[in-house]
Structure 1
């Protein structure tokens, strides 16, 4: 089943990217993979990058926060952090990305499709330039990340 469904990345406006994919697992399971740190860290970073996720702190509730730290060692670590502004299990997670000084808002929705999950990720950037940069950088990794999530889901369903 893994790899069967395609990840679609599209630009909806100057400042918005939307990514969709159908996952072969129930909404509750896919939501859990996004909301539990011990599961999230198993699929979020593309393995081919060779950069480990050194820290994964997630308080996935409205008003909670997160902090992800990447790097081979503490001296070269990069941190990403923000707040969860809307968490509605198992259908929606909205968070801010605040590390750049400009706030990006990410919304992920989980829709039931006959026992499968249609996932839609929308990223709203503060400027066209920030969106352009994401399209070349972080958004380019999402298909790989979603493949890794696809590989993890059968284990969670079992």
Structure 2
């Protein structure tokens, strides 16, 4: 399944693509209007991450956000979800500041998926490529691409956050 959109408000619209590239992998690609250093921080600093990660249209709230972005460090996200909160958690397996992150997704039970994100800066903008690799075709089929497709809106929110951060720092 492939999905593309240009939903960012304002002059600089960026396209997010979601593509199932194999039986086990989904890739989400987006150019973000900001330098890799700041985009990387938005992924690795809890106070920034919580401001853009949850798609607003889903009506969910991120109840808690713990991020220890170092190899062997843990993350834990708890969302309000009817009828009870849902937690997503895992371990960082790669952390290369401003260029690459990888973490496990351990809440799924049988076999864990791994998410790898690369950050490639060019002319003050950052190409973000997020790969979610599942242990099997069946695991990806069960997970679907809904979470990856939600990143379309989520990445729009990341662009909006970077605009707000630029305005607050006087850039």
TM range (shorter): over 0.9
Q: Mark the runs of 5 or more structure 2 residues left unpaired by the alignment.
A: 1-9
Shift of 1:139: 1.3
Partner-residue secondary structure (3-state), 1:43? coil
- Match of 1:137? 146
Q: Matches of 1:2 and 1:41 in 2, distance apart? A: 25
| Native 8 Å contact 1:26 1:112 kept in 2 | yes
Q: Hey, what does 1:79 align to over in structure 2?
A: 87
Does residue 58 (structure 1) correspond to residue 58 (structure 2)? The answer is no
Higher helix content, 1 or 2: 1
User: Cα RMSD (Å) of the superposition?
Assistant: 1.6
User: 136, 142, 149: which is aligned to 2:158?
Assistant: 149
Normalising by structure 2, we get a TM-score of 0.86
**Unaligned segments of structure 1, at least 5 residues:** none
Task: Report which stretch shifted further, 2-11 or 107-116.
Answer: 2-11
Could you list the structure 1 runs, at least 4 aligned residues long, displaced by more than 4 angstroms after superposition: none
**TM superposition shift of 1:68:** 0.3
Name which structure has the greater RCO, CA cutoff 8 Å, separation 6+.
1
Number of equivalent positions? 157
